[in-house]
Amino acid sequence: MLDKVKIALLSMARYSWEQGVCAQAFLESGDDDVVVCLCYDAVNRQSPDGRLGNLGHQNAVTDPVAIVPALIRACEITKDPVLEKALALAMEWSLKNSPRNKEGIVYHMDHTHQFWVDSLYMFPPTLLAAGHPDEAIKQADGYIAALWDSERKLFHHIWDEDKQDFEIVEYWGVGNGWALAGLSRLIEGLPADKKAARDRYIDVVSKTIDAALPLRSNGIFHNFLDKPDSFLEVNFAQMLAYTIARGVKQGWLRADLMAEAEDIRKTVHGYVNPYGLVTPVCGAPTFDKPGIAPEGQAFYILMESAFK
């Protein structure tokens, strides 16, 4: 079934962030040959400003650099100067040229002054993988400050700086999944001298998990976690199981959560159809209805890799 899920993912059209999470899935599953091919295509579609994997005109700022950790691996394998030049250009975009607020926190899009929770997955892990832990911490802290509800212990999706308000008040499941998965990679990758930041992220992840778990319905979750009238979807369940499995195995989440993760994983297996399509997830390309999506495929692979 895992092979079918992989084939289905590679059969899908993918925007820049989808190419990034796809490459990350194959990176974590040890499929280096696929990682290299995915990176070559992202580099083939790199824009002059450094953004990778662009299809048509896109305004995304952080999405196009989500593939950087995989690209670093592809550079190590191939030693290809074409990939190395593309990586350098992508990091120049990430560190110097991407639009940001006066505190230096990078926006999610280049035509609005908004922070999206998606960026917690797309951007700080890229900065960390490229050897910039302080900048990774700065960006993660900025997104958490803007988007994490310290009372409900869940993440909002979009904060608009111009309006000084949330674009969407509800707690989007997949958005919370992006945050959990991205922070888990920071927790595991930060150097020893960044213990204070690591402890902050463990606290946020732990509290978010504890807030989300009671909201399960039929073994999975609603699209908006706190809205039972929104559709049921399976991708947040995968993202949650992935985060818990990584955290318990690495010792930064409490061991009793593993039983919850195993139960979620078992439930998710029932949502893969005979063609390897994970459904219903928050469906591409509009993500406002149940369907299929590259990120839904990718997080099945990531989840399975986390349980190995």
pLDDT at position 203, please?
Answer: 98
Radius of gyration of the chain (CA): 18
Look at residue 58 and tell me whether its pLDDT is greater than 90. no
Q: Give the phi and the psi of residue 29 in degrees, each rounded to 5.
A: -90, 0
Q: How far is residue 70 from each of residues 22, 31, 41, 167, 239, measured CA to CA in Å? A: 10, 11, 12, 31, 19
pLDDT at position 168, please?
Answer: 85
Task: Tell me the angle at which helices 173-189 and 133-147 cross, rounded to the nearest 10 degrees.
Answer: 150
In single-letter form, the type of residue at position 295 comes to: E
DSSP annotation of 106 reads B
Task: Read off the tokens for 34.
Answer: 């696929």
**C-alpha to C-alpha distance for 24 and 30, rounded to whole angstroms:** 10
pLDDT at position 74, please?
Answer: 98
SS3 annotation, 73-139:
HHHHHHCCHHHHHHHHHHHHHHHHHCCECCCCCECCECCCCEEECCHHHHCHHHHHHCCCHHHHHHH
165-218 pLDDT, tens per residue? 999 889 999 999 999 999 999 999 999 999 999 999 999 999 999 999 999 999
The chain-wide mean pLDDT, for the chain, equals 97
User: What contacts 93, CB < 8 A, 6 or more positions away?
Assistant: 49, 50, 51, 64, 65
CB 300 within 8 A of CB 235: no
Other CB atoms within a 10 A radius of the CB of residue 171 amount to 24
64-117 pLDDT, tens per residue? 999 999 999 999 999 999 999 999 999 999 999 999 999 999 999 999 999 999
How far is C-alpha 132 from the chain's CA centre? 18
User: What contacts 211, CB < 8 A, 6 or more positions away?
Assistant: 152, 153, 154
3-state class of 85 per DSSP? Answer: helix
Q: Give the phi and the psi of residue 17 in degrees, each rounded to 5.
A: -70, -30
161-179 pLDDT, tens per residue? 999 999 988 999 999 999 9
**Domains, in order of start, for the chain:** 2-306 (1.50.10.10)
Residue showing tokens 């609005």: 112
pLDDT band at 55 (very low <50, low <70, confident <90, very high): confident
CB 156 within 8 A of CB 96: no
> What is the pTM assigned to this prediction?
0.97
